[in-house]
Structure 1
């Protein structure tokens, strides 16, 4: 078994400082540890470069910064070409990482949630109206009005809005 952790951006052959203790503990427990270039993983067509320091063959676990599902899929493919199999497949990662994938299993424990399948204003308005209002509204995206006006949604992370911030999404357009 091999533990894969992000590389330190300034010392690419060493684990990122945030994962250094885990890498050391894994080595002490007898596991192999390898680093991956997280920045390269987040760029199109750079997954091969990202895994260049990973030894060929074996089974691995990734413990690192979050990736978009398509980035993780490219990561698993690049590792597979080196004979390395991640314990969490790209499909398992997508189901656990994205709300539509895990929502059904946790719906009873999760605040009312809706999501869009597109990036158009109409998609956002439909989800916003379906979600409605309440004391705690889960906003799946913070919306940058300039991007929304151009048909896009800002890619910042999800966050809670509670009654201290008003707790209501903007009114749907007439």
Structure 2
């Protein structure tokens, strides 16, 4: 079974936002690549969604939007039905993507965090106050934040009370709508290094991504596509030990 990269792309997109370079490199290397309409997947319209894939059997590495577990599982099942497979099993995807699934592994190296299994802002407020102390905090659901709506649905500022926190929770629910994942996550806010660039709606921090394969780091690069110096070495070498246990 040959390995390839499967892009989830929006309608009328050649490749997902930000992945054009990766796609061109894959083409130059002769790595099989294909795409499907990710909007059909997330809206449950699975009829002929994978018709554009080559007939030869492949193990696909998914590349695209961060999907809820149920959508990623649906993609996995659709591929299995046609004799293909995903490189990353849905169980492994859930472990890596959903904060409550990985938090214990990284608890000593990541901001203190609480979460709920409900959409009740008051429950999240009380748990956060007890465990984290007063704001500032970061708010998200189990899968992802809404930092595009930084003040409305993500950042809980110093001095915020229950009424303000509830409003921010409602903003997060509005942002994710029916894609809200499992419950609220509240994290202690850490003042990271900021970059001298303006992005509408939220600050830009000096973030870097590390890619692991079989428990070993194989690549790292700045997250933002701007003029940032790359790191000379893989950050946080202990991550190799953590990733090898998952």
Q: TM-score, structure 1 length as denominator?
A: 0.73
Alignment-derived partner of residue 82 in structure 1: 82
Pairing 1:132-147 to 2, within 5 Å after superposition: 132-134=132-134, 136-141=136-141, 142=153, 145=167
> CA contact under 8 A between 1:112 and 1:138: conserved in structure 2?
no
- What value does the CA root-mean-square deviation take over the aligned residues? 3.1
TM-aligned CA deviation for residue 122 of structure 1: 5.1
Distance 1:59 1:134 in 2: 47
TM-aligned CA deviation for residue 134 of structure 1: 5.0
Pairing 1:93-132 to 2, within 5 Å after superposition: 93-121=93-121, 123-132=123-132
Distance 1:88 1:46 in 2: 23
Q: Deviations over 1:40-78 (max 9, x none)?
A: 1221x2245443322342111011111111111111111
Q: Deviations over 1:5-42 (max 9, x none)?
A: 1335225xx33453222112112212111001111122
TM-aligned CA deviation for residue 155 of structure 1: 5.0
Pairing 1:1-174 to 2, within 5 Å after superposition: 1-7=3-9, 9-10=11-12, 14-16=14-16, 18-43=18-43, 45-56=44-55, 57-121=57-121, 123-134=123-134, 136-141=136-141, 142=153, 145=167, 148=170, 153-156=173-176, 161=189
TM-aligned CA deviation for residue 135 of structure 1: 6.5
Distance 1:121 1:88 in 2: 34
Higher strand share: 2
Higher helix share: 1
Match of 1:114, SS state, is strand
Query: Which runs of 5 or more structure 2 residues have no equivalent in the other structure?
Result: 142-152, 154-164, 192-246
